[in-house]
Amino acid sequence: MELQEVFGRYLSDIDTELRASLRDGGSLAPFYGMMRYHLGWVNERFQPASADVGKRLRPTLALLCADATGGDYRVALPAAAAIELVHNFSLIHDDIEDRSNERRHRPTVWRLWGEPHAINAGDGLLMVARLALHRLVDQGVAAERVLALSRSFDETCLALCQGQFLDMSYEERTDVTVEMYLEMTGGKTAALISYAAYAGALLGSDDPRTADGYRRFGRELGLAFQIVDDVLGIWGAPTVTGKPAAEDIVSKKKSLPVVYAFEKARGQRRKALEEVYDKPSLDAADVQRVLELLHEVGARSYAQRMAEVYRDHALAELPPVEEGNTAQEGLRVLARYLVERVY
């Protein structure tokens, strides 16, 4: 199975489900318009647009897992929509917290409408996500299972917020270890990817043990995904990623390459890193010095190797299925892509 086929398999159904989740019109048109703008459906004047809508990784993962476990993926569409919406809630808030001016080659919501409106629009997306999940009842899913998925969804959202707290709190620290980084990433990124795999598998199989296997797959895959994001946040091409060059260095994020450099640097290298990261803000010369130090300790190659390790861990967690299971094959294709991607 080719990557394009994996992502294209459910794209139309995901888009339809997402659009059904959001109102528009009336006095609340600008409120929902900001959400629709962030999702890439409209421009800043709330007119229809064809902007980058993102990878749709998490809902695709959920539907692949539903298919791989023998279920009807259409039953899981409300959960897939909820997962994508809560992911985008986190992105709107993340852009505010990181002072990011652009996302997907367009101005961020807070840059266009200000922080108060952006915070409110993000909170609105979170509530829309929760309501989307309840539509599983309309698909014939038993209320008890919807309740269990809702509880796990809320626990996942809390883990996401906890991870984001750690991410922000680490920015002014120089004692962050790889172990601390993994705790942060386990919440900030891996928790939602893990939930996507778990929810899809549970809706596809109704077997908690099978779903737990996919949950573990998703967690390991989420760690690999974030590590690659860390690499791209420093060395990714702005024309491809849609973000400024070395943005994660400018914002002093303790991404894996930087954490590794702090652990491995000794003597003058360690002192130079500390002097740069002790500054209230970094200029172009500071960024260049950090890039040089990362190169000297081999931080990029280390991070890439770690991404590959977690990808392999993820693939080892996939439960066995019958030969010819194209959705399971799609999960393997997806895992390989996430480590090899350039955006």
Q: For residues 93 and 122, what is the distance between their CA atoms, to the nearest angstrom?
A: 6
In CATH, the number for domain 3-340 is 1.10.600.10
Torsion of CA 188, 219, 3, 104, to 10 degrees: 0
Contacts of 210 (CB under 8 A, 6+ apart): 69, 201, 319
3-state secondary structure 19-38: HHHCCCCHHHHHHHHHHHHH
Q: Of how many residues is the chain composed?
A: 343
pLDDT score for 262: 96
Q: Tell me the two tokens of residue 68.
A: 């791989």
pLDDT score for 250: 92
Q: For residues 92 and 38, what is the distance between their CA atoms, to the nearest angstrom?
A: 8
Q: Give which of 257, 218, 253, 194 is closest to 335, Cα–Cα.
A: 218
pLDDT band for position 268 (cuts 50, 70, 90) = very high
pLDDT score for 338: 93
Q: Give which of 291, 311, 292, 294 is closest to 302, Cα–Cα.
A: 294
What number is the average pLDDT over the span 159-184? Answer: 95
Condensed to tens digits (0 to 9), the pLDDT of residues 244-258 reads 789 899 999 999 999
Domain boundaries, the chain: 3-340
Cα-based angle 203, 206, 207 (whole degrees, multiple of 5): 125
Task: Fill in the DSSP letter of residue 319.
Answer: P
| CA 145 from centroid of its chain's CA atoms | 25
Contacts of 143 (CB under 8 A, 6+ apart): 137
Q: Give which of 48, 129, 142 is closest to 86, Cα–Cα.
A: 129
Burial class (CB in 10 A: 0-12, 13-18, 19+), 6: buried
Whole-model pTM: value is: 0.95
pLDDT score for 193: 98
pLDDT score for 343: 84
Residue 107 predicted with pLDDT over 90: yes
pLDDT band for position 238 (cuts 50, 70, 90) = confident
pLDDT band for position 3 (cuts 50, 70, 90) = confident
Cβ–Cβ under 8 Å, residues 221 and 338? yes
